[in-house]
Amino acid sequence: MKILFLFLDGIGLGEDNPEINPFVRANMPYLESLLGGKKITKSAAPFESDVATLKAIDPSLGVKGLPQSATGQAVLLTGINIPAELGYHYGPKPNPEVAQYLNGHTIFSKTLNAGKKTALLNAYPPRYFDGIDSGKRLYSSIPLALTNAGVPLFTEKDYYAGNALSADFTGEGWRTFLGFKDAPLFDPESAGSNLANLASQYDFSFFEYWASDYAGHKQDMPWAVKQLEILDGVLKGLLSKSDCQSDLLLITSDHGNMEDLGTRKHTSANVPLLLFGDKKNRDVFSNVLDLAGIAPAIFNLLKLN
């Protein structure tokens, strides 16, 4: 089987309050049709159907303080309750104590060690690598885990060649923000189809979407709603191309944020675990209660040690 892990940074299950929660305002007809007409809020979980599962899982992991990106993402990739072992949440970028867990213990490393194929499907622009090489930018947990496993990040050339996607799915940011005026541009459904085609080439693939966390920190309701409506189109294109009998799409987050635009800070809200695919594969996650349960379930499905 093949697993695509679609990581949405900073998304919790919030209240049914359109004043602060863009999930209530956003028009997401495709996703809502898969969830029995429900929007992704706290009241929607748990949900189970022939094709979809929605669970609320705990990102706090028994540790005081608000969950943070570096530790949360590291937990998702390892299945180790790192905040409990360290005694604190940490972020946004991993410190040396968090980074040590991201070398040899991750889904990326274990997939490769089992002789299987893995990739992070994001394309990174030249300025990102310039920042890393100059020491002005640090890897976040996800690209650090991949590079530690010996897999290079995809580049500008990969994006133009169609081997990876832009972080915003459509490529609009490469044109408007990064200045690549001839960068490939896709409508959301086409971007989703492209993501499905790329994921089909790997046993375990990962895509990191961070604009959701950015919208939360900026408390930008119109922009947050726009991103969610784009995501709905991406999911339509993605799931229409996926083999629901043998593939699993997993969507989750590291902490809450965008579901409550009444604050610039992270939240203590539970985060969604969304699963699409054959029910026997989704059932492997039936006992997952927090972030630390996700990687072991993936290890089980992919038969990783």
pLDDT (tens digit per residue) in 197-249: 999 999 999 999 988 888 888 899 999 999 999 999 999 999 998 776 679 99
Distance, in Å, from the CA atom of 188 to the CA atom of 269, rounded to the nearest integer, reads: 28
Domain count for the chain, please give it: 1
Q: What is the pLDDT of residue 243?
A: 74
In a domain, 305, yes or no: no
For the chain, 305 residues long, the average pLDDT of each consecutive 10-residue run is: 96 97 97 96 96 97 97 98 98 96 96 97 97 94 98 97 97 94 96 96 96 85 95 96 83 96 94 96 97 98 91
Residue 85 within a domain: yes
| Predicted local distance difference test score (pLDDT) of residue 17 | 97
Residue 247's Cα: distance from chain center in Å? Answer: 17
pTM above 0.95, yes or no: yes
For position 304, what pLDDT does the model report?
Answer: 94
Residue 165 β-bridge partners: 122
* Omega before residue 222 within 30° of 0, cis: no
> Does 283 map to a domain?
yes
> Is residue 117, in this structure, part of any structural domain at all?
yes
Residue 17 lies in a domain: yes
Helix axes of 211-218 and 221-241: crossing angle, nearest 10 degrees: 160
Distance CA 148, CA 164 (A): 20
Q: Distance between CA 106 and CA 161 in Å, rounded?
A: 28
DSSP states of 139-180? --HHHHHHHHTT-PPB-HHHHHHTSSB-TTSSSHHHHHTS--
Q: Which residues of 131-161 are buried (b: 16+ CB within 10 A; e: fewer)?
A: ebeeeeeebbbbbbbbbbbebebbbbebbee
Domain containing 262: what range? 2-300
**Residue 244 has what pLDDT?**
65
Number of C-beta neighbours around residue 245 at 10 A: 10
Q: Is residue 138 part of a domain?
A: yes
**The pLDDT value given to residue 6:** 98
* Backbone φ and ψ of 43, nearest 5°: -75, -10
Long-range own/partner contacts, residues 178-185 (CB < 8 A, 24 or more apart): 178/125, 178/127, 180/125, 180/156, 183/159, 184/159, 184/160
**Looking at residue 240, which CATH number applies to its domain?**
3.40.720.10
Cβ neighbour number for residue 86 with a 10 Å cutoff: 15
CB-CB neighbours of 19 under 10 Å: 10
Predicted confidence (pLDDT) per residue in 158-186, tens digit: 999 999 999 999 999 999 999 999 999 99
Q: Say what angle helices 69-78 and 294-302 make with each other, to 10 degrees.
A: 30
Residue 281 lies in a domain: yes
What span, in angstroms and rounded, lies between the C-alpha atoms of 45 and 302? 26
- Give the pLDDT confidence score for residue 213 in this predicted structure: 82
pLDDT of residue 268: 94
Question: Does residue 208 lie within any of the structural domains?
Answer: yes
- Give, in degrees to the nearest 5, the angle at Cα 218 between 217 and 220: 125
pLDDT, position 246: 74
